[in-house]
Amino acid sequence: MTHILAIDQGTTSTRAIVYDASFTALAQAQAEFAQHYPRSGWVEHDPMDLWATTQTCIAGALQTAKLGAQDIAAIGITNQRETVVLWDRKTGTPVHNAIVWQDRRTAERCMKLRAAGHEPMIAARTGLVLDPYFSASKLAWLLEEIPGIRTRPRRANWPLGRLTLG
């Protein structure tokens, strides 16, 4: 176990790179995945594409480096950060496509929150400006727009069933 696996799950592709103990790249694999644009300003990914390309790239990089999982001491992951995916706890399947960081579907909601004077409170609590780039408005959109999502089985203390933004 002397190697490091880096996974870069980006906006248009996934990449896996295997490094040795001196941080020399030994092998890499990359796979692109589809972008989906269901409406103007909306950007989505199929979460299963993200998962499949991640698995494919890990396997490819390990095979090229002639290593197995037992040879990996650590895994580093970088991802899209503000892209949002909700998974069904029981089935492990996504409840909707991922809403990508570039997506602007919640721009109007953010403008209404700003006009109602909520931006200072949001900034104080999160340290972030009010913008559809960030995850909260995407999460609220999913909870409000995807039928049945609030009633899915969950832990008793899981607060998302009560989340509202404006």
- Note down the domain range covering 89: 1-103
Residue type, 30: Q
| 12 and 72 part of one domain | yes
Report the predicted TM-score, pTM, of the whole model to 2 decimal places. Answer: 0.84
pLDDT in tens, 98-122: 999 999 999 999 999 999 999 999 9
| 71 and 119 part of one domain | no
Domain boundary among 68, 88, 103: 103
Query: What local confidence, expressed as pLDDT, does residue 150 receive?
Result: 75
- Helix %, strand %, coil % for the chain, to 5? 35, 20, 45
| 77 and 132 part of one domain | no
| 116 and 35 part of one domain | no
Q: What is the CATH number of the domain that holds 86?
A: 3.30.420.40
Query: What local confidence, expressed as pLDDT, does residue 154 receive?
Result: 55
| 55 and 4 part of one domain | yes
Asked if residues 105 and 49 have their Cβ atoms less than 8 Å apart, the reply is no
| 84 and 112 part of one domain | no
Query: What local confidence, expressed as pLDDT, does residue 88 receive?
Result: 83
| 69 and 111 part of one domain | no
- Segment 48-56 mean pLDDT: 96
81 confidence band (pLDDT: 50, 70, 90): confident
The radius of gyration of the chain's CA atoms, rounded to the nearest angstrom, is: 19
| 85 and 110 part of one domain | no
Q: Strands 72-78 and 3-9: what pairing? A: parallel
152 confidence band (pLDDT: 50, 70, 90): low
How far apart are the C-alpha atoms of 152 and 143, rounded to whole Å?
11
Query: What local confidence, expressed as pLDDT, does residue 163 receive?
Result: 45
Structural domain total, the chain: 2
> Mean pLDDT lowest for which of 22-36, 80-94, 116-130?
80-94
| 13 and 50 part of one domain | yes
CA proximity to 64, closest of 3, 116, 132: 3
Query: What local confidence, expressed as pLDDT, does residue 164 receive?
Result: 47
